[in-house]
Amino acid sequence: METPVNKILLATAFDSQSLVAFEYAIYFSKLTNAEIVILHVVDKGDFLARFFSNEEIEAKAKAKAQEMLEEMILKNKTQLDAPVTTRIEFGKPYQKILEVAQEIKPRLIMMGKTESATLGKSLLGSNTLHVTCEAIFPILTVRSIADTINFNALNKVIVVPLDLTQRVCEQLSAAIEYGKYLNSAISLVSVLNKKSIGLEMQLIQELNKAKLAVEKEGLVCKTSLIKNTTEPIHKLIAEYAKNEAAHLLIIMTQEESSIVKYFVGSTAQEVINQSETPVLSVVPWERNEDSIFSNIVDPMGVIM
pLDDT tens-digit profile of 240-265? Answer: 999 998 999 999 875 543 333 334 45
Identify whether residues 96 and 27 lie together within a single domain: yes
| Contact predicate 89/97, CB 8 Å | no
pLDDT at 214: 94
Q: Is the residue at 303 inside a domain?
A: no
Q: What is the pLDDT of residues 194-230, one digit of tens each?
A: 888 888 999 999 999 999 999 999 999 999 999 988 9
Identify whether residues 167 and 136 lie together within a single domain: no
Give me the CATH number covering residue 260.
3.40.50.620
Q: Is the residue at 208 inside a domain?
A: yes
Domain termination site, one of 142, 166, 195:
142
Identify whether residues 175 and 256 lie together within a single domain: yes
246 contacts: CB under 8 Å, gap ≥ 6? 157, 158, 159, 187, 277
Identify whether residues 198 and 270 lie together within a single domain: yes
Q: Is the residue at 301 inside a domain?
A: no
What is the Cα–Cα distance from 25 to 47, expressed in whole angstroms? 24
Domain around 223: 157-282
Q: Which helix (H) or strand (E) holds 41?
A: strand 35-42
Q: What is the pLDDT of residues 113-130, one digit of tens each?
A: 765 444 444 455 677 778
Mean confidence (pLDDT) of the chain: 80
pLDDT at 272: 83
Q: Is the residue at 66 inside a domain?
A: yes
Identify whether residues 113 and 19 lie together within a single domain: yes
Identify whether residues 114 and 72 lie together within a single domain: yes
**Is 0.85 topped by the overall pTM?**
no
Q: Is 4 left (phi over 0), alpha (psi -120 to 50) or beta?
A: beta
Q: Determine the average pLDDT of the residues in 236-241.
A: 91
pLDDT at 112: 84
Identify whether residues 17 and 111 lie together within a single domain: yes
Identify whether residues 136 and 224 lie together within a single domain: no
Identify whether residues 165 and 203 lie together within a single domain: yes
Q: Is the residue at 302 inside a domain?
A: no
Q: Is the residue at 304 inside a domain?
A: no
Q: What is the pLDDT of residues 121-180, one digit of tens each?
A: 445 567 777 888 788 899 998 876 654 456 667 789 999 999 877 778 888 999 999 999
Closest of 301, 304, 243, 232 to residue 273, by C-alpha? 232
Identify whether residues 97 and 127 lie together within a single domain: yes
- Number of independent structural domains in the chain: 2
Identify whether residues 167 and 271 lie together within a single domain: yes
Domain termination site, one of 109, 142, 175:
142
Residue 97 identity (one-letter amino acid): I
Q: Is the residue at 149 inside a domain?
A: no
Q: Is the residue at 198 inside a domain?
A: yes
104-143 as b/e, with b when 16 or more CB fall inside 10 Å? bbbbbbbbbbbbeeeeeebebbebbbbbbbbbbbbbbbbb
Identify whether residues 138 and 11 lie together within a single domain: yes
